[in-house]
A and B are shown apart, each in its own frame.
Chain A
Amino acid sequence: STITAKLELKPPPYPLNALEPHMSQETLEYHWGKHHRGYVDNLNKQIIGTELDEMPLEDIIITTYNKGDILPPFNNAAQIWNHDFFWESMKPGGGGKPFGELLQLIERDFGSFEKFVEEFRSAASTQFGSGWAWLAYKANRLDVGNAENPRPSDEDKKLVVVKSPNAINPLVWDYSPLLTIDVWEHAYYLDFQIRRPDYISIFMEKLVSWEAVSSRLEIAKARATEREEEEKRKKEEKEVGNSDNQAVEMFVDSKSDDSETE
């Protein structure tokens, strides 16, 4: 018999009434208890017995995004990830200002914290229809088939504000998400009805966990550095391989591929 890795519904890191009065318990009961749970139940049904079954959630997302030609499980998989990330983007008594290196980078890349807030608010309020707005750390390497992957220069590594429709998230563009707000109507309709701009303001002023955003930034930077070193190592190995004969080159390449996936 095969063992299947059943995905579990992760609870928010606080009780469902903990964000009152800014986000009601009723909203959390439906948003987490029904919508988020629905995505988990539906994904488990979709992937049972398929090759996706034992993959980590992020790999399911990238695989089913399928370079933009989206496969059916994508919406559920990405929405599970987005909601986990959203709950952890907030905390009771949140809001205020970011601090430390995060604040420095925000000031460097947006001019000021206020300008960042303006840009984030604009992204969240102008997302037509359902979707998400994000603060993300972008340290792109272009993943182009046989081409040389140029290593990102320091200017490439920066904070960006982006919005995404429906279930799409910045993982599919190879960005590291740092903060998100859900602008599907179900996220705010019970508390704010049509007033999406008020919901966005309350989120920024009373709910954002800048601690969570800061620790995500640290992880994102470490990941970017790790990748750069890996690229450098691969390039060096390739150069060594080129000077040897064909058989050795193939051996080196496949070995480095293996270590990458572990």
Chain B
Amino acid sequence: GHVRGLQSFSLPELPYDYGALEPVISGEIMQLHHQKHHQTYITNYNKALEQLHQALAKADSPSIVQLQSAIKFNGGGHINHSIFWKNLAPIKEGGGEPSKASLGWAIDTQFGSLETLIQRVNAEGAALQGSGWVWLALDKELKKLSVQTTANQDPLVTKGSALVPLFGIDVWEHAYYLQYKNVKADYLKNIWKVINWKYVSEVYEKENP
């Protein structure tokens, strides 16, 4: 859509039903997470961009700089959630089935095994203070996989311009609280049952030809 000639962003559709990831993630969580949380990031992102547009037109530097934190937070929220939905797939549509393609081989070579990668991601996710994300990242220049974390809604690119997100796991409490409460470790343990390795492999092959 357009706001006065300015490109604005809208909520992408989920590639599956809200209840399709049950019992790993409840339909209630998915609906709130998509319709409310992601939508709010988009609304506030568009608002901040509109304000930026006006500030730029007036060459209002203090406002331009002041808007950066809202753009990073809400724009990051939009980027991260858009990736997250695609990272997941219902079990009956192949969710959780490890990649046998070149990504599977790269994981085995660089981490030892998928099991080691899972343990690493779960440990980093559990140790993350407050709100944030844990990522499997590809460094496009070094052609190397790594596990990264970002705080709040910082997108992965804030950790390095060569880093491409292969998948990200949302470890904000809103991603699991209604179902898992304080037991973040169980959420992290279970989410692997719905990881869309097929999609993750496609991103890997595209970015690492």
Residues of A at under 8 Å CB distance from B? 30, 34-35, 38, 75, 128-131, 165-167, 184-186, 189-190, 193-194
Contact = CB atoms under 8 A, between A and B. Distances in A.
Interface string B114-146: 000000000000000111100000000000000
Contact of A194 (B37, B69, B132): B37
B153 A128 contact: yes
Interface string B144-159: 0000000111000000
B177 A130 contact: no
A167 B129 contact: yes
Given A75-B129, A128-B69, A38 B182 contact: yes
Among B36, B40, B152, residue most surrounded by chain A Cβ atoms (within 10 Å): B152
Contacts of A38: 182
A194 B129 contact: no
Chain B, interface size category, equals 20 to 34
Contacts of A131: 130
A185 B172 contact: yes
A30 B173 CA distance: 13
A75 B127 CA distance: 11
B174 interface: yes
Which among A34, A35, A128, A194 has the highest number of chain B CB atoms within 10 Å? A128
B177 A129 contact: no
Contact of A189 (B129, B130, B152, B177): B177
Contact of B174 (A128, A165, A166, A194): A194
A75 B126 CA distance: 14
Interface string B177-193: 11001100000000000
